[in-house]
Structure 1
Amino acid sequence: MGTAERRGAPRVDGAQLTGHRDPGATDRDIPEGVAEPSGQTEVQAHEVDRGARAQRYYRPLWVEEPARRRRMPDPVRTAAVRAVLLIAVTLIQAMVAFLCTMAGSWLAFPMVISSVVSTIAATWGALDVWVTRQVWNQRHGVVSVPSSTARALRRERRRTRRQERAAERAQERIRRRGGAGQLSHS
């Protein structure tokens, strides 16, 4: 069904079509059940239709979703970026060494040696990420692990601070009284 037919244009045989949408129409931009307002120009009808659709079918461009995982701590992220770069360089060197070997180039031997050294460096980089992550978790605690060492250390520090404050308050009370209430003065 074309635009002229939907707008109520007369047919060749003299019959006039209504402005209602044909349920079998394939136009995807006009929702089913939307009638065209009669007596308006095509531009006005389009603007009215677009405004009505915007109100009914408004959808934001994107929806903010909470992150599934927390962001990595800065030292761990730095180590991970370093490791990815080392691994990428190692893979490139290994590919160049292989191609040089296949071509019979004099550069094959130096590239193989540098690939071995890069493999050791890339392994160190991957281990560095793991060690940095473990150290950070040990120092700052892990939210989801109930037996976190850092959490126990914080709990212990809080307990000692409370005891120290209670002892200071008791000493302050004794000083304010001027020693009154003590059994012996020594």
Structure 2
Amino acid sequence: MWVEEPVGRRRLPDPVRTAAVRAVLIASVTLIQAMVAFFCVLAEVWLAFPMVLSGVACTVVATWAVLDVWVTRQVWMQRYGVVSEPSSTARRLRRERRRARRLARAAAREAARIRRRRVGRRLSRA
């Protein structure tokens, strides 16, 4: 029977995944080219020297591609990675502060109303 299991890690974002696939393809081509260069050196073929030079260039490109994955991941995390959701604790504290402000405003209104009433009575008696 088919049983769904929850995934341990979330899927990579699209730009990061694209960079990672590109890096894997470039690294695999570099490894194949290194093997060909090695065999050309063993066979003492004229193609050995150009293959070794291009192998060095491909190694630089592969390193650049891996760094591109890292940079793309960092940029994506900086732009979209942080989801700002207030925690339940922050929400509760905000509610308490709001309630305290409402009570303070209501008390201030009541005090002002009482003062006005007292001032009105004094004027009418005088």
SS of match in other structure, 1:65: coil
Q: Please, which runs of 5 or more residues in structure 2 have no aligned partner?
A: 86-126
Number of residue pairs the alignment of both structures matches: 85
Partners of 1:65 and 1:74 in 2: CA distance: 23
Work out whether 1:116 is the aligned partner of 2:116: no
Alignment root-mean-square deviation, CA = 1.4
Q: Which has the higher helix share?
A: 2
Shift in Å, 1:113: 0.7
Identity of aligned residues (%): 72
Aligned to 1:91: 31
**Which structure has the larger Rg over C-alpha atoms?**
1
Aligned to 1:104: 44
- TM-score normalised to the size of structure 1? 0.44
- TM-score normalised to the size of structure 2? 0.65
Higher relative contact order (CA closer than 8 Å, sequence separation 6+): 2
Work out whether 1:79 is the aligned partner of 2:19: yes
Partners of 1:63 and 1:141 in 2: CA distance: 30
Letter in 2 for 1:101: V
Work out whether 1:134 is the aligned partner of 2:74: yes
Q: Please, which runs of 5 or more residues in structure 1 have no aligned partner?
A: 1-59, 144-150, 153-186
Task: Give the 4+ runs in structure 1 shifted more than 2 A.
Answer: none
Partners of 1:78 and 1:116 in 2: CA distance: 24
Matches within 5 A, 1:136-155: 136-142=76-82, 151=84
